């Protein structure tokens, strides 16, 4: 058995010397125990002077460092080791706690970066950039441009989230979208859709457009539709009226006799209108079979030819007095246009309202289409009616008032030289009273006898309504029996009364 001295180790049955300052070793490389004033580190022996080089404070009576210099850290063997580059303080070889001035520590504590690498940074610190320049935002301690993450972004928050977009772009979910990509959006202000297309409105966040009913437009449309329908109805009615009018004019023209005066044997006479000629200056109405009288309440017809002897087309028509009470008159056609050397045959219809003599005038109007001048001339109108129970009020003459009742007043008067009793209805009579009056007139007209009071007729002109009968100067038979004593009425007169009553 071999005995080894301090500072040696056995190798191939030989004693080999350990490394320098090593008291006990396993081999040449691995020292197990160092000499005094030396300490073991990684299988090697180091003197205290080497430890003191990077150590601020040693462990008393030991070859160990209690506190290392700046830029070094104390390992598990009490030795001071270099920190990572530009690191001011560290606790392991790869973990830095703080960096030198003008350097900042990455968030993972593995590297110290120079401030020079913090571009686009306004406020720098050992934690990185605290505030970026406009147009940049903080990301992982550095400043990053907005466009790197959000296209068309104008401004972002400190976390890089876009807060506003460039012009004509809308901010939605921290991203910028063009106006054209937002359906129905037509106007953008401050990164929001502020105006949408018709029938749409921005939503509560101004990021999209949704449908909205525009009531005033609906109201306008409804009014417009009503106007259109009304206009269509009006046009249809107008066209219908024009068609009917045209059809009526055509029918009238078919019935109207228009002829060429140069080919006619009718003798025309001049009127006060230079271009207008007529075949007679007086219209005299006659009854059937050449009778001189015409019927009452029935139309009678006469013809009158009117010719245009001028150079221009004219329009002719007749007009009568508006306040005529005794008769009504009309013409066919109502109005007609006559070209040069043309004539028309007018039908003149008259309807007497009472028995009377008519001597009046009707007016013939002529309008020159070229000059627009209107002229007029008078045509005499003559007619004698048949005798009827419809009397002419102008033939009645009132003498004196005989009495008055609840519905009328009785006057003594004359009618065509005969003494008559005129029973006039009071003014403002009702329809029922007027109807009763008409029934009484009809009844009296049926009773015609020489033994009863003669009924001449009645006047039916408004406000002049009255009944005309024979005047009985001695009163009625009832008055005689009520006011005369029987001794004053002889037997012969009594017999006559009974015979006349029986004959009536």
pLDDT, one tens digit per residue, over 167-178 is 889 888 888 888
**First vs last C-alpha separation in the chain:** 200
CA distances (Å), origin 405, targets 54, 408, 411: 155, 5, 12
Confidence of residue 51 (pLDDT cuts 50, 70, 90): low
H/E element holding 440? Answer: helix 431-446
Backbone conformation region of residue 197, classed left if phi is above 0, alpha if psi is from -120 to 50, else beta: beta
Q: Going by DSSP bridges, is the β-strand pair 342-352/31-34 parallel, antiparallel, or unpaired?
A: unpaired
Determine the average pLDDT of the residues in 372-376: 92
pLDDT grade for 380, boundaries at 50, 70 and 90: very high
Instruction: Tell me: pLDDT of 410 over 50.
Output: yes
Q: Nearest 5°: phi and psi at 71?
A: 90, 5
In this predicted structure, the answer to whether residue 362 has a pLDDT above a threshold of 60 is yes
pLDDT 10s digits, 201-256:
899 888 889 888 888 888 998 999 999 999 999 999 999 999 988 887 777 667 78
Evaluate if residue 163 carries a pLDDT over 90: no
* pLDDT tens-digit readout, 191-216: 899 999 888 889 988 888 988 888 88
Is 90 exceeded by the pLDDT of residue 285?
Answer: yes
Average pLDDT over residues 298-316: 93
Q: Rounded to 10 degrees, what is the CA torsion of 265, 271, 273, 275?
A: 10
- With cut-offs at 50, 70 and 90, classify the pLDDT of residue 320: confident
Q: What is the mean pLDDT of residues 476-497?
A: 78
In terms of Cα–Cα distance, which of 355, 411, 422 is closest to 383?
A: 355
Query: Which residue ranges make up the annotated binding site?
Result: 424
Of 12-26, 142-156, 396-410, the poorest mean pLDDT is in 142-156
pLDDT value of residue 107 = 87
For 177-187, the pLDDT digits (tens) are: 888 888 889 99
What integer pLDDT is reported at residue 65 of this predicted model? 79
Report the distance separating Cα 209 and Cα 185, nearest Å. Answer: 6
Residue 34 has pLDDT above 90, yes or no: no
- Separation between Cα atoms, residue 394 and residue 27, nearest integer Å: 173
* 3-class secondary-structure state, position 151: coil
Q: To the nearest whole percent, how much of the chain has pLDDT over 90?
A: 33
Burial class (CB in 10 A: 0-12, 13-18, 19+), 302: middle
Cβ-in-10-Å burial (0-12, 13-18, 19+) of 348 comes to buried
pTM score, two decimals?
A: 0.50
**Who has greater pLDDT, 498 or 330?**
330
Per-residue pLDDT band for 8 (boundaries 50, 70, 90) equals confident
Beta 374-385 vs 282-284: how paired, if at all? parallel
> 18 in helix, strand or coil?
coil
Tell me what pLDDT residue 149 has.
Answer: 47
- Mean of pLDDT over the chain: 85
> What's 415's DSSP letter?
E
Q: Closest Cα partner for 405 from 375, 437, 376, 379?
A: 437
Residues annotated as binding site for ATP? 424
Residue 93 has pLDDT above 80, yes or no: yes
How far is the C-alpha of 22 from the C-alpha of 41, rounded, in Å? Answer: 11
Work out the burial of residue 169: count CB atoms within 10 Å of its CB; fewer than 13 is exposed, 13-18 middle, 19 or more buried.
buried
Give CA–CA dist 103/112, Å, rounded. 6
pLDDT band for 406, please (50, 70, 90 cuts): confident
Q: Supply the pLDDT for residue 148.
A: 45
């Amino acid at each position: 058995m071999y005995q080894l001295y301090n500072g040696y180790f056995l190798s191939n049955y030989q004693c080999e010397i350990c490394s320098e300052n090593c008291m006990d070793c396993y081999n040449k490389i691995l020292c197990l125990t160092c000499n005094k004033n030396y300490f073991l580190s990684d299988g090697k022996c180091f003197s205290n002077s080497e430890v003191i080089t990077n150590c601020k404070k040693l462990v008393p009576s030991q070859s160990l460092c209690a506190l290392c210099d700046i830029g070094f850290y104390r390992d598990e063997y009490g030795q001071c080791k270099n920190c990572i580059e530009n690191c001011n303080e560290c606790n392991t070889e790869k973990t830095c706690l703080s960096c030198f001035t003008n350097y900042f520590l990455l968030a993972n504590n593995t590297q110290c970066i120079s401030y020079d690498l913090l571009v686009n940074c306004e406020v720098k610190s050992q934690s990185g950039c605290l505030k970026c320049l406009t147009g940049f935002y903080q990301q992982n301690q550095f400043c990053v441009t907005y466009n790197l993450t959000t296209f068309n972004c104008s401004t972002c928050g400190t976390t890089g989230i876009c807060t506003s977009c460039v012009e004509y772009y809308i901010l939605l979910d921290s991203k910028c979208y063009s106006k054209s990509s937002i359906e129905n959006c037509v106007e953008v202000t401050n990164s929001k859709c502020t105006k949408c297309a018709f029938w749409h409105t921005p939503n509560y966040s101004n990021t999209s457009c949704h449908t909205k009913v525009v009531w005033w437009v609906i109201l306008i449309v409804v009014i417009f539709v009503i106007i259109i329908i009304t206009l269509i109805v009006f046009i249809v009615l107008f066209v219908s009226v024009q068609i009917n009018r045209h059809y009526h004019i055509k029918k009238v023209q078919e019935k109207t006799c228009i002829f060429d005066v140069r080919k006619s044997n009718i003798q025309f006479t001049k009127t006060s209108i230079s271009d207008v000629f007529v075949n007679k200056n007086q219209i005299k109405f006659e009854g059937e079979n050449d009778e001189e009288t015409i019927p009452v309440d029935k139309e009678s017809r006469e013809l009158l030819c009117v010719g245009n002897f001028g150079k221009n087309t004219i329009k002719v028509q007749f007009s009568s007095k508006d306040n005529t009470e005794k008769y009504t008159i009309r013409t066919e056609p109502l109005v007609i246009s006559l070209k040069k050397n043309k004539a028309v045959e007018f039908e003149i219809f008259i309807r007497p309202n009472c028995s009377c003599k008519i001597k009046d005038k009707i007016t013939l109007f002529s309008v020159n289409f070229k000059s627009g001048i209107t002229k007029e001339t008078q045509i005499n109108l003559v007619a004698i009616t048949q005798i009827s129970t419809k009397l002419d009020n102008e033939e009645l003459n009132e003498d004196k008032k005989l009495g008055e009742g609840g519905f009328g007043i009785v006057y003594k008067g004359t009618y065509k030289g005969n003494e008559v009793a005129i029973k006039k209805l009071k003014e403002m009579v009702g329809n029922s009273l007027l109807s009763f009056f008409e029934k009484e007139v009809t009844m009296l007209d049926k009773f015609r006898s020489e033994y009863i009071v003669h009924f001449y007729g009645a006047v039916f002109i408004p406000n002049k309504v009255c009944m005309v009968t024979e005047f009985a100067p001695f009163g009625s038979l009832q008055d005689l029996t009520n006011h005369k004593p029987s001794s004053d009425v002889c037997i012969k007169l009594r017999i006559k009364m009974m015979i006349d009553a029986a004959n009536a």
